[in-house]
Amino acid sequence: MKRYAIIFIFTLLVSQSAVGQQISIIDSSQHHVSFRGLSVVSNTVLWVSGNKGTVGKSVDGGNHFNWMNPKGFETRDFRSVNAFDGKTAIIMAVDSPGVILKTIDSGVTWKVVYQNNLHGIFLDAMAFKNKLNGVCVGDPIDDHFWLIETNDGGDSWHQVSAKQTVEAKKGEACFASSGTNIQFIDHPDFKYGFVSGGMDARLFLINASATKPAVIRSLPLMKGLATTGANSLAVNGKDFVVVGGDFKNYTRNDSTIIYNSGGGANWNLSVQKPLGYKSCVIWLNNKGLIATGLSGSDITTNTIYDWKHFSDIPFNVVQKAKIGSAIFLAGGNGKIARIVF
Ligand SMILES: *[C@@H]1O[C@H](CO)[C@@H](O)[C@H](O)[C@H]1NC(C)=O
Ligand SMILES: *[C@@H]1O[C@H](CO)[C@@H](O)[C@H](O)[C@H]1NC(C)=O
Ligand SMILES: *[C@@H]1O[C@H](CO)[C@@H](O)[C@H](O)[C@H]1NC(C)=O
Ligand SMILES: *[C@@H]1O[C@H](CO)[C@@H](O)[C@H](O)[C@H]1NC(C)=O
């Protein structure tokens, strides 16, 4: 009986659209949880993470999830997850103390690999380049963004060199909305970049050489309020896309998506305005993008042109399989979905 009821609900939740994409809700069993972390290893293996200490893993493309609550962290909000495979994953909790946990046994046990009790510590997001090199960004401490790196797959973390420490403006911080405001960059000069929000919205490019300062670019994105700014950075070679907006007023259209094709200096605003605030953007291929947020999901096959709104269902994060083509979304009320083309 339960099975039939579930199939019936799934059928109702497939939202039809004229442009060829459908969002198919595949799980909402954790309806009391808001998901913001999502890491899709392949078409079959994905991990999600959210508040109330909740982590989930599927090894069959999202048909079934194995739910877990790392012991001792049941009240934490895991806003960023990076999975290497079905057994190994790293999760990051926002707020204080700052903690990063790692499992190598499918989530049976979790080890604290980083803990920071500094007053005001607030980690926002992690990114990994490969199975060894990763970075995590946090809100400013003493007016400087908190940046830590790992070179051993997350087993140990160290702060970036003082030369590369980036000063924040008053009222400028990072949004921990989708775990995607920091990304590695395939560029001879820069190793990774991250974006900020609040009173200003900027892109910080951290030089590959530890003795060189970061390059800072102003972003022509909605800014000036504590709730406005850049939420997500997607990188494809030298092509960068940044999305954001005002999460308190998610219908605001002005400057929510910007595009740059050469190191972050000259930005083009999206021509067709996607409908409102977006918390995450990903590249589908060299010109295709999907962005999602409280305002729903939008897609383009042509960078800043031809954006189409294809779903009103709010989500926080969208991710494509690192190896494979499957695209999943996760958001509030325990919603996890797959995009069906
Ligand atoms: C990054 O540092 C290298 C030296 O390691 C330097 O040659 C290069 O100009 C720097 N790039 C930028 C954009 O500052
Ligand atoms: C956002 O843009 C759409 C389409 O351009 C428009 O219909 C809508 O009124 C805009 N919303 C706001 C709040 O400006
Ligand atoms: C939300 O944004 C719209 C469009 O810019 C504006 O007219 C409205 O006053 C805003 N609402 C709030 C509550 O800020
Ligand atoms: C971005 O803007 C610049 C300057 O206006 C223009 O030359 C360039 O073609 C634009 N890029 C795209 C992809 O439209």
Ligand 1 near 163 CB (within 6 A): no
Ligand 2 near 249 CB (within 6 A): no
Nearest Cα residue to atom 14 of ligand 4: 268
> Is the pLDDT at 269 greater than 90, yes or no?
no
Least confident range from 39-48, 115-124, 251-260: namely 251-260
Relative to the alpha carbon of 185, which ligand is closest?
A: 1
Looking at residue 275, what is its pLDDT? Answer: 76
Ligand 1 near 212 CB (within 6 A): yes
Looking at residue 106, what is its pLDDT? Answer: 98
Q: What's the rounded Cα separation, in Å, for the pair 209 and 190?
A: 8
> Is the pLDDT at 8 greater than 80, yes or no?
no
C-alpha of residue 305 to centroid of ligand 4, in Å:
11
Q: Which of residues 212 and 15 earns the better pLDDT score?
A: 212
The pLDDT tens digits for 216-259 are: 999 999 999 999 999 999 999 889 999 999 999 999 988 888 88
Going by C-beta distance under 8 Å and a sequence separation of 6 or more, which residues neighbour residue 319?
38, 39, 40, 46, 280, 282, 327, 328, 329
In degrees rounded to 5, what are phi and psi of residue 75?
A: -105, 5
Predicted model pTM: 0.91
Question: What is the pLDDT confidence band of residue 274, given thresholds at 50, 70 and 90?
Answer: low
Looking at residue 168, what is its pLDDT? Answer: 97
C-alpha of residue 207 to centroid of ligand 1, in Å:
6
Question: What is the pLDDT confidence band of residue 162, given thresholds at 50, 70 and 90?
Answer: confident
Ligand 2 near 251 CB (within 6 A): yes
Ligand 1 near 218 CB (within 6 A): no
Pocket test for ligand 1, best of 192, 204, 206, 212 (most atoms within 8 A of CB): 212
> Is the pLDDT at 141 greater than 50, yes or no?
yes
Nearest ligand 2 atom, CA 254: 14
Least confident range from 131-140, 145-154, 253-262, 284-293: namely 253-262
The pLDDT tens digits for 60-116 are: 999 999 999 999 999 999 999 999 999 999 999 999 999 999 999 999 999 999 999
Ligand 1 near 215 CB (within 6 A): yes
Going by C-beta distance under 8 Å and a sequence separation of 6 or more, which residues neighbour residue 130?
none
Looking at residue 273, what is its pLDDT? Answer: 67
Nearest Cα residue to atom 7 of ligand 4: 268
Nearest ligand 4 atom, CA 268: 1
> Is the pLDDT at 15 greater than 90, yes or no?
no
Q: Which residues line ligand 3 (CB under 6 A)?
A: 249, 252
Nearest Cα residue to atom 5 of ligand 3: 252
Relative to the alpha carbon of 300, which ligand is closest?
A: 4
> Is the pLDDT at 1 greater than 80, yes or no?
no
Pocket test for ligand 2, best of 228, 275, 309, 312 (most atoms within 8 A of CB): 275
Give percent of the chain above pLDDT 90.
81
